[in-house]
Amino acid sequence: MIYEHSKMLDHFSTGIFAAMDAKKQALLDAGRKVYNLSVGTPDFEPPQHIMDALAESARDPYQYRYSLVDGREMLEAAASYYLRRYGVTVSTDEITSVNGTQEGMGHLGMATLNPGDVVLLPDPGYPIYEAGSWFGGAEIYYYGLVKENEFLPKLSEIPEDVLRRTKYICVSYPSNPVGATAPKSMYLELIEYAKKYGFFIINDNAYSDIIFDGREGYSFLSLPGAKEVGVEFFSLSKSFNVTGLRISFLIGNRSIVNALKLLRSQYDFGMSYHYQKVAVAALTGPFDSVTKQCAMYQKRRDALCGGLRRIGWNAWDSHGTMFTWIPVPEGYTSASCVETLMETCGVVGTPGTAFGPKGEGYIRFALVKTPEEFEEIIDVIGTHFPR
Ligand SMILES: Cc1ncc(COP(=O)(O)O)c(C=O)c1O
């Protein structure tokens, strides 16, 4: 028997990523060298003290129980980290753990939205923002992120009737996929809009530790008034290379945090104690590996973007994240560029259109190779990519 899935699932497909995976596999099967720059998982290792914490926890039989709720130790570690790292004071009841921002973002939509609500999402943007909106049965209004406006939202262009029905807006800087950063004035304007129209702000703080050329990685919650109208997802995935463990937090406005906690209490028995130990180690331990890693990402960015410019591509330097957002050469679309790069060079990127229609004309490359490997990739593209 084949059973029909829910109507809500009609919004989703594995489409483009599955097709790219199949293509990549076909190249590998044909014995071709493949440079996979489409992945979002860092190739760096977790710091030793984090792996030690997990190993120690694994040997302790007490840590294998249901956790049910977030432990005090972890919540206090998160609160003190926010004070130390970002100068933000939060109390432990303004924090909940989530099994990764991905999970939290999906369920926050379910916990806060009703049919008839509107959510404001970036185009191009990280796909899970859409999923959360569909889970909550809301309508989506896409605000465009374009180069001419430095990939920042133009709030004044959003129609008044949309703003009046808006429940929340998702923003994220440094931004995946576009690699842009935002000035604090952008968030301050957003806070004014949220107050005026009664919506809340979800800031996805995934990359404040991967930020280049001396820019400051900050928390949205450090801005005056932010906590009254917003929350922030704070993921450990990319700063500490623990993507597979699924450790993130929702921090900020208590009523929003409580809504997510209530929903989570119905389907989840809490973050594993092992991962709570990892979180404590990350949040209370040394920070030097994060700083060093950021410098290494910057060197990779230089090798890739600088290299592409050398061979005649119109590539600009991304400001942060582990991604670069590169305009495709003339005569190509996102899809045809990705396809040609794969076939002629074995280089796998992600078409900008995977992140929304305004991604047309771009390709996203992940900074998951060493500078030396990027030099090799640039040579291959310079030699084999037809222009
Ligand atoms: C913007 C953004 N938000 C969230 C995530 C996912 O974070 P997590 O691993 O905590 O689900 C990613 C991962 O690529 C991301 O790029």
Q: Which residue has the tokens 């990027």?
A: 374
pLDDT confidence of 228, banded at 50, 70, 90?
A: very high
pLDDT confidence of 130, banded at 50, 70, 90?
A: very high
User: What is the torsional sign of CA 240, 242, 247, 252?
Assistant: positive
Cα–Cα distance, 55 to 62 (Å, whole number): 14
Q: Is the CB of 232 under 6 A from ligand 1?
A: no
The atom number, within ligand 1, closest to the CA of 98 reads 10
Q: Is the CB of 102 under 6 A from ligand 1?
A: yes
Q: In what order do the strands lie in the sheet with 139-144?
A: 95-98, 248-252, 230-235, 200-205, 166-171, 118-123, 139-144
Per-residue pLDDT reduced to its tens digit, 137-155 = 999 999 999 999 999 999 9
Per-residue pLDDT reduced to its tens digit, 300-349 = 999 999 999 999 999 999 999 999 999 999 999 999 999 999 999 999 99
What would the two tokens of residue 185 be? 């004035």
Q: Is the CB of 248 under 6 A from ligand 1?
A: yes
The atom number, within ligand 1, closest to the CA of 243 reads 9
Task: Please choose from 181, 205, 238 the residue to mutate so as to test ligand 1's pocket, defined by most ligand atoms within 8 A of CB.
Answer: 238
From ligand 1's centre to the CA of 204, what distance in Å? 8
Please compute the mean of the pLDDT values over residues 151-162 and round it to a whole number: 97
Instruction: Answer yes or no: are the C-beta atoms of 233 and 101 closer than 8 Å.
Output: yes
Task: Please choose from 98, 170, 181, 235 the residue to mutate so as to test ligand 1's pocket, defined by most ligand atoms within 8 A of CB.
Answer: 235
In this predicted structure, which of 3-17, 185-199, 253-267, 350-364 has the lowest mean pLDDT? 3-17
Above 80 in pLDDT, residue 12? yes
pLDDT of residue 14: 73
Q: Is the CB of 253 under 6 A from ligand 1?
A: no
pLDDT of residue 39: 84
Q: Is the CB of 203 under 6 A from ligand 1?
A: no
Please compute the mean of the pLDDT values over residues 226-250 and round it to a whole number: 98
User: What is the torsional sign of CA 146, 152, 323, 95?
Assistant: negative
The atom number, within ligand 1, closest to the CA of 126 reads 1
The atom number, within ligand 1, closest to the CA of 175 reads 1
Instruction: Answer yes or no: are the C-beta atoms of 42 and 322 closer than 8 Å.
Output: yes
pLDDT confidence of 20, banded at 50, 70, 90?
A: confident
pLDDT confidence of 15, banded at 50, 70, 90?
A: low
Q: Is the CB of 40 under 6 A from ligand 1?
A: yes
Whole-number percent of the chain with pLDDT over 90: 93
Looking only at the bridges linking them, the beta strands covering 323-327 and 248-252 are unpaired
Please compute the mean of the pLDDT values over residues 375-387 and round it to a whole number: 95
HSE-CB at 266 with a 13 A cutoff on CA atoms is: 8
Residue 11's φ and ψ, nearest 5 degrees, are -70, -15
Q: Is the CB of 204 under 6 A from ligand 1?
A: yes
Domains and CATH numbers, the chain: 7-45+289-384 (3.90.1150.10), 60-284 (3.40.640.10)
Q: Is the CB of 273 under 6 A from ligand 1?
A: no
Above 90 in pLDDT, residue 235? yes
What would the two tokens of residue 348 be? 């796998």
Q: Is the CB of 101 under 6 A from ligand 1?
A: yes
**Spatial CA neighbour of 38 closest among 372, 294, 377:** 377
Instruction: Answer yes or no: are the C-beta atoms of 71 and 77 closer than 8 Å.
Output: no
